[in-house]
Structure 1
Amino acid sequence: MSDRTIDPPLSEPPEPVTEPLPPARHRHNAVAVATMGLFVIALLFSLYFGRDVLLPIMLALILSLLLRPCVRGLYRLGLPEGLGAAVMVVLVFGSVLIGVYTLSTPAVEWVNRMPRVLHELEFKLGDIREGIQRAREASRQLEQITSDQNGAAREVVVRGPSLAEQVFTQVEAVIANVVILQVLLYFFLARGRQSLEALIGTMRDVDDRVHYAMVAATVQQNIAAYLATITVINFFLGVATALAMWMWGLPNAALWGTLAGLINYIPFIGPAVVTAILFLVSVLSFDGLFNILGPPLTFVALTTLEGNFLTPMIVGRRLALNPIAVFVSILFWGWMWGIPGALLAVPILAILKILFDAHEPLKPIGALLG
């Protein structure tokens, strides 16, 4: 028997420890969430920096929804849509121009009087006067601290555009936006229906064409009725405010009534702003606590009646919106587009609610807004 050396068996290398890969569905969800986040960021970026272009388009679109029934009525009377659209544009902007011309004189007088507001409040309200005195004393102390060793305060002169140049620039921008708005409104009224029908006609599925035609009709009818109702309510609120301010003896009552009717398109914030303005005007116009508090408290009573009884009874059945959603929408669009955005916040929210309710996956969001 021969001696043989038996080699030990080679040990196999250990298998690498690897973590199990996540399921494909999870990876797909993560990619979808990341894509949606990037889309939202891009959308916010576009809305904010494109407001100079998007704001006139959105305003013209919402005005076209309001005025479209009028153009349709003129068409039934035998007036072509193009001519009817021109008539409505001339009537709307002509009325606005007449109103601005009529109220411009008292508005300019109050603007010129604003530098005197602080001085008059200082004598009529003792607490405010003491606060102003403390603020002036703190300002003087700060000036002494920042002065140099010789006691001469350092002066920093910032050269910029003059007041006349700034006013001219703002007026030029307003005129350009008004012209753009007029042109867009005319084309939306004259060609909007044909463009929408052509867009829906490109869809291959008949069910899709019927569905989106019904959605467009719902948006048109509900938003037009909502805007018309709110406009009528705000008109009568403005008239009631003007009459109440006239009875209290407040100067330029028509100006405050117009302001109340316009700013009431911004729920919550608008009435609060008008109340503060009426309080300041009352302080500057009257003596005595009763006369000073009378006009703002009267306006608060009018807006309470309108906001808690009249508007919910008329509008609530047609298009109910969540007050929280309304307030958040005002803050968001006000941050995006300023005062015009705050004015458009509620109509935009109403349009979004209708669109969300029309699509099954988005119905929970529509229920949250309602």
Structure 2
Amino acid sequence: MDGHSDARPHTSLLLSLAAFVIVVAGMREAQALLVPFLLAGFIAIVAAPAMFHLCRRGLPAPLALVLVILGIFSAGMLLGVLVGGSLDDFSARLPEYQAKLKSQTTQLLQWLQGLGLPLPEQALGNLLDPARAMAMAAQGLSSLGSLLTNTFLILLTVVFILLEASSFPGKLRLILSDFDRSIVHFDRFTDNIKRYMAIKSATSLLTGAAIALWLWAVGLDYPLLWGVLAFLLNYVPNIGSIIAAVPAVLLALIQLGSGGALWCAAGFLLVNNLVGNVIEPRFMGRGLGLSSLVVFLSLVFWGWVLGSVGMFLSVPLTMTIKIALDSHERTRWLAVLLGPDPDDAEDRGGGTPTAAPPGMLKWLPGRAPGNPPDPER
């Protein structure tokens, strides 16, 4: 009997690991279908407060929904207008840029050989290969356009999610026996996601605008294109700002020479350090509730599972998993492992809050917004 009892935890662990592998494999296979719905879910979470604010101001719910959807659609159209013409022109001239880069690589090889450092041309090309970096940038921006082909599906899903949002707490009340505790965890999830996405969007917009202005002042071609690229890749933690800088600096090397490339690199370094190390931490406050290692590993994992969109959503998705793990006693230890150093969290004023500010709670009948339920009850 004892032997069977000892085997149960190991069996449960193996079953959990097998289920995890099956779910991840299924997500990877269903990437084309899953990505639009994930994007729609996060867009709805960010857009819901605006719709409910309009409703509280006296607008009918259908009209508030139409205004929010028009705002989302207008933002997408503006992004398409900013990127479209520059992207087509850049893609058309890409072979010319690649040829110039290859010529400059050959000149660099000859200069190194003149210094007595013989390097095979093939080895140097494989080491640097700047043309491939520019091709990857064009391919990445083109994939954004292919994602926009799912705009109708994404917007339609957002509409239905927002229509159901106000009735969701009532459904949870009927389903869950520990409703008060569950709604606090759900409130924490939505509050953290909205807060992260709002701050990240504002700082990304600031980064993109500053980069575009800097490159325009330097005289680089397509400053709006590189500004939009910096805006989008700022959502990718750790490496996004580096990836955004590479094609612009390489183009500056072709168009403006080494001096212009240094000025462009200095602009990226200055803007990203100012925004990433000064402005963003000031408004992000307690931080993401995730360790730096987990943020990086989540970037790799979600990028592998969901492609480039997974890299953009890696932090919100991992925050969602952490909050879900934290809501159950048996998995809380995993949430602690995903979180930051406890000493650092205390210095910043605490990690993930134990109770959410009254967000969804104010939609519930018979509950005062200022009196959230006790999560331990």
Distance 1:109 1:77 in 2: 45
State whether residues 122 and 132 of structure 1, in contact with CA within 8 Å, keep that contact through their aligned partners in structure 2: no
Number of paired residues?
314
Distance 1:321 1:171 in 2: 28
TM-score, length-normalised on structure 2? 0.77
Distance 1:132 1:184 in 2: 55
- 1:340 offset after TM fit, Å? 0.7
DSSP 3-state at the match of 1:268: coil
Q: Determine whether 1:329 maps to 2:298.
A: yes
- 1:169-208 equivalent positions in 2, closer than 5 A: 174=147, 177-203=150-176, 205=177, 208=178
- 1:327 offset after TM fit, Å? 0.7
- 1:172 offset after TM fit, Å? 10
Q: Determine whether 1:64 maps to 2:44.
A: yes
> What amino acid is aligned across from residue 325 of structure 1 in structure 2?
V
- 1:267 offset after TM fit, Å? 1.2
Number of the residue aligned with 1:247:
217
Residue from 260, 270, 282 that aligns with 1:291: 260
Number of the residue aligned with 2:7:
27
Gaps of 5+ in 1: 1-20, 139-169
Q: Determine whether 1:127 maps to 2:76.
A: no
Residue from 300, 304, 311 that aligns with 1:342: 311
- 1:261-280 equivalent positions in 2, closer than 5 A: 261-280=231-250
Residue from 96, 105, 113 that aligns with 2:76: 96
Residue from 276, 288, 291 that aligns with 1:319: 288
- 1:174 offset after TM fit, Å? 4.3
Distance 2:253 2:270 in 1: 19
Q: Determine whether 1:302 maps to 2:271.
A: yes
Number of the residue aligned with 1:148:
none
- 1:95-174 equivalent positions in 2, closer than 5 A: 95-125=75-105, 126-127=107-108, 134-135=121-122, 174=147
Distance 1:47 1:62 in 2: 17
Residue from 166, 179, 182 that aligns with 1:209: 179
> What amino acid is aligned across from residue 106 of structure 1 in structure 2?
S
Q: Which range moves more in the overlay, 333-342 or 76-85?
A: 76-85
Distance 1:320 1:175 in 2: 31
Number of the residue aligned with 2:372:
none
Q: Deviations over 1:97-147 (max 9, x none)?
A: 1331233111111111111122212333423689999449x9xxxxxxxxx
Identity, in percent, stands at 23
Number of the residue aligned with 2:24:
44
CA 1:174–1:317 in 2, change beyond 3 Å: closer, same or farther? closer
TM-score, length-normalised on structure 1? 0.78
State whether residues 121 and 128 of structure 1, in contact with CA within 8 Å, keep that contact through their aligned partners in structure 2: no
Distance 2:20 2:147 in 1: 30
State whether residues 82 and 224 of structure 2, in contact with CA within 8 Å, keep that contact through their aligned partners in structure 1: no
Q: Deviations over 1:191-217 (max 9, x none)?
A: 1231343133222x3xx1001111111
Q: Determine whether 1:234 maps to 2:240.
A: no
State whether residues 282 and 291 of structure 1, in contact with CA within 8 Å, keep that contact through their aligned partners in structure 2: yes
DSSP 3-state at the match of 1:23: helix
Q: Deviations over 1:3-42 (max 9, x none)?
A: xxxxxxxxxxxxxxxxxx8622112123212211221121
Gaps of 5+ in 2: 126-142, 340-377
- 1:175 offset after TM fit, Å? 5.8
Distance 1:317 1:47 in 2: 31
Distance 2:38 2:150 in 1: 12
> What amino acid is aligned across from residue 225 of structure 2 in structure 1?
L
Q: Determine whether 1:351 maps to 2:331.
A: no
Distance 2:146 2:217 in 1: 39
> What amino acid is aligned across from residue 127 of structure 1 in structure 2?
L
Distance 1:123 1:176 in 2: 37
DSSP 3-state at the match of 2:167: helix
